């Protein structure tokens, strides 16, 4: 199979779909790989390294989209990339379609087979292709929040961990999943007063077993969310409903009642955000202020640390890239129900139930769609 790896063009996106080591594996399986010039620049991987791994270097992304049987990316295709997709072509990348009707429409009209990293599942539970980036984003959320709490950046002027004799910041983490757990790791390490809110007693029990008395766990109710958000210096939004838009746990009314200078880092912004006042921002302009509350809502947070992110992502995507290339998408999806769960759009049909429900499309079961 001919695999194409274009350079990412989203604002301040420096990750790349395949690192040189991944290209080498694909070539060893008998496949061809086309990589756009300087695609690996953000991870310090030169064109020479890609060529040494067996890739063909191509300067024009149009040539990649026109020739490749499978496009491997990181972020959702931008409008000009979507226009180059064609029927029968595989797109393997993050999509986050539920809050993005324009992208969904374009992918449906393209006729391509679009497999989303974020809805591929695992026999062990969870979302294995989303988890590495959730780990990175969770850890980055505390770094970003600590930065935004500094007075020159609009914050309260608090040091996250305080000092002896002075209280640390109160950090409220909404969701004790992968994002929340890794945010908690960093917040605890920095000495913050950490409160974790989740709706699953089992998840809270596991969290307590992991962190003990270094954190406080709270069962999620409207009352609990409101009470702790209003007391918070830093709120981390890490809730996720697989494939669907994130629930709006933090209302505009709550934001108005928060402390002036408090900070919200909405990691769930890829899925529309869990705060009503959240809107997607970029690494170029990461923050804005609503009712004196600083909002950090960068939609591709892991893109800020592309080297770590790319290699972490490739560790989990490479086996699926090889399976799709070795077997072809139809057989690969028939053989693996968990990979099949990643199929979001196929030949003009929406095959992810949550996306169809959120955006008003007729849902077609993936197994039926590929027959």
Kindly tell me the sign of the dihedral angle through the C-alpha atoms of 78, 80, 81, 84.
positive
Of the residues 193, 198, 233, 270, only one is catalytic, namely: 270
CA distances from 260 to 149, 194, 251, 294 (A): 11, 20, 16, 9
The 10 Å Cβ neighbour count of residue 354 is 19
H-helix segments, 249-349: 252-257, 306-327, 329-335, 337-340
The 10 Å Cβ neighbour count of residue 299 is 22
Whole-angstrom Cα distance, residue 239 to residue 207? 15
Look up 270 and say whether it is catalytic.
yes
Please check whether residue 344 is in contact with residue 356, taking contact to mean a CB–CB distance below 8 angstroms: no
Residue matched to tokens 């270097």: 57
H-helix segments, 53-198: 61-67, 79-82, 101-110, 131-148, 178-189
Look up 29 and say whether it is catalytic.
no
The 10 Å Cβ neighbour count of residue 123 is 8
Of the residues 31, 96, 228, 320, only one is catalytic, namely: 96
Question: What SS3 state is found at 159?
Answer: coil
Whole-angstrom Cα distance, residue 18 to residue 26? 10
Tokens for 1? 């199979």
CB burial of residue 368 (10 Å; 0-12, 13-18, 19+): exposed
Q: Give the orientation angle of helix 178-189 with respect to helix 201-211, to 10 degrees.
A: 30
Residue matched to tokens 């609990």: 224
Residues 6+ apart with CB under 8 A from 113: 88, 89, 90, 91, 329, 343, 345, 346, 347
**Residues annotated as catalytic (active site), given as ranges:** 96, 270
């Amino acid at each position: 199979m001919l695999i194409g790896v274009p350079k990412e063009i989203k604002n301040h996106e420096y990750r790349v779909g395949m690192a040189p080591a991944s290209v080498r594996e694909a070539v060893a399986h008998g496949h061809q790989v086309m990589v756009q010039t300087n695609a690996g620049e953000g991870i310090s991987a030169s064109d020479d390294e890609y060529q040494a791994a067996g890739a063909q270097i191509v300067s024009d992304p149009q040539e990649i989209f026109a020739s490749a049987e499978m496009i491997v990316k990181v972020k959702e295709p931008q409008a000009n990339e979507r226009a180059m997709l064609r029927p029968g072509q595989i797109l393997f990348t993050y999509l986050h379609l539920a809050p993005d009707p324009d992208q969904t429409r374009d992918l449906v009209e393209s006729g391509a087979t679009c497999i989303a990293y974020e809805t591929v599942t695992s026999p062990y539970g969870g979302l294995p292709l989303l988890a590495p980036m959730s780990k990175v984003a969770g850890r980055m959320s505390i770094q970003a929040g600590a930065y935004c709490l500094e007075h020159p950046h609009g914050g309260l002027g608090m040091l996250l961990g305080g000092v002896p004799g002075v209280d640390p910041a109160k950090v409220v983490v909404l969701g004790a999943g992968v994002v929340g757990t890794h945010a908690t790791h960093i917040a605890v390490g920095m000495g913050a007063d950490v409160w974790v809110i989740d709706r699953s007693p089992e998840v809270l029990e596991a969290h307590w077993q992991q962190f003990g008395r270094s954190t406080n766990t709270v069962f999620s109710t409207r009352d609990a969310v409101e009470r702790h958000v209003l007391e918070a210096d830093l709120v981390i939004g890490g809730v996720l409903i697989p494939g669907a838009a994130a629930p709006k746990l933090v209302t505009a009314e709550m934001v108005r009642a928060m402390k002036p200078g408090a900070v919200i880092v909405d990691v769930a912004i890829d899925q529309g955000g869990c705060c009503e006042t959240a809107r997607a921002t970029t690494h170029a302009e990461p923050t804005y202020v609503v009712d004196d509350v600083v909002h950090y809502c960068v939609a591709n947070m892991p893109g800020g640390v592309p080297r770590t992110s790319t290699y972490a992502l490739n560790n989990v995507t490479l086996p699926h890239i090889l399976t799709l290339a070795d077997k072809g998408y139809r057989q690969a999806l028939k053989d693996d129900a968990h990979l099949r769960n990643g199929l979001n759009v196929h030949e003009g049909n929406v095959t992810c139930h949550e996306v169809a429900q959120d955006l008003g499309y007729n849902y077609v079961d993936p197994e039926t769609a590929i027959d």
